[in-house]
Amino acid sequence: MVENREDNGKQSGDNEFLGLEEKIVQVLKTVYDPEIPVNIYDLGLIYKIDVSEEGRVEVDMTMTAPNCPAADYIVEDVHMKLSGIEGVKDAKVNIVFEPEWTKEMMSEEAMLELGML
């Protein structure tokens, strides 16, 4: 009987962790580059999402161009929205430029929205 409770507790913890990851992706889909009518997640700008058991979130993301004039705005928007998610204790956003972003990294939905399909 105790084993079942431990298993149920583990499954519950796993579900909470997966739920947090889903919330993070949902929130990232609300962040837009002001010059492009597609969210940063579907644009393929999010390279990595790490979530610790303690609720620390670290995101590696890029920009469509290294000299993106909206970079500060986008990073701040990502940070604020991630920090506002229940269960997130700390959020860190890293800008990376390797691998270099290409339009092939976009989702089909993004390509369709931008008239590329």
69, 33 contact by CB (below 8 A): no
Backbone angles phi, psi at 40, to 5 degrees: -65, -25
Tokens of 15: 């579900």
User: Do 44 and 105 touch, CB atoms closer than 8 A?
Assistant: yes
**How do residues 18-43 score in pLDDT, each as one tens digit?**
689 999 999 999 999 998 999 999 99
94 beta partners: 60
Domains of the chain are: 2-113 (3.30.300.130)
Which residue type, as a one-letter code, is found at position 94? N
Query: By mean pLDDT, which of 3-17, 60-74, 97-111 is the weakest?
Result: 3-17
Q: In the prediction, which pLDDT does 117 show?
A: 82
* Torsion angles phi and psi, residue 46, rounded to 5: -95, 115
**Residue 16 token pair:** 């909470």
Q: What is the pLDDT of residues 49-101, one digit of tens each?
A: 999 999 999 999 999 998 999 999 999 999 999 999 999 999 999 999 999 99
